[in-house]
Amino acid sequence: MPALQLLRTDHAPALLAFERENREWFAASVPDRGEEYFARFDERHRALLAEQEAGTCWFHVLVDAAGGIVGRVNLVDAADGGADLGYRIARRAAGRGLATRAVRDVCGLAARRYGLRTLRAATTLDNPDNTASRAVLARAGFTVTGETLLGGSPGLTFRRDLHDLGAAADRNGPAAAG
pLDDT in tens, 53-110: 999 999 999 999 999 999 999 999 999 999 999 999 999 999 899 999 999 999 999 9
Cα 35 to Cα 42: distance, rounded to the nearest angstrom: 13
Domain span at residue 79 reads 3-172
Q: Is residue 124 part of a domain?
A: yes
Cα 42 to Cα 22: distance, rounded to the nearest angstrom: 18
CATH, residue 149: 3.40.630.30
Domains held by the chain: number = 1
Other C-beta atoms within 10 Å of 152: how many? Answer: 9
Strands 143-150 and 118-124, sheet pairing: unpaired
Q: Is residue 178 part of a domain?
A: no
Q: Is residue 177 part of a domain?
A: no
Cα 93 to Cα 90: distance, rounded to the nearest angstrom: 5
Q: Is residue 125 part of a domain?
A: yes
DSSP 92: G
Q: Is residue 14 part of a domain?
A: yes
Confidence of residue 168 (pLDDT cuts 50, 70, 90): very low
Q: Is residue 24 part of a domain?
A: yes
Cα 34 to Cα 71: distance, rounded to the nearest angstrom: 19
Q: Is the pLDDT of residue 171 over 90?
A: no
pLDDT in tens, 11-55: 999 999 999 999 998 887 777 788 899 999 999 999 999 999 999
Considering the entire predicted model, what is its pTM?
A: 0.87
Q: Is residue 159 part of a domain?
A: yes
The answer to whether the beta carbons of residues 110 and 77 sit under 8 Å apart is no
Q: Is residue 137 part of a domain?
A: yes
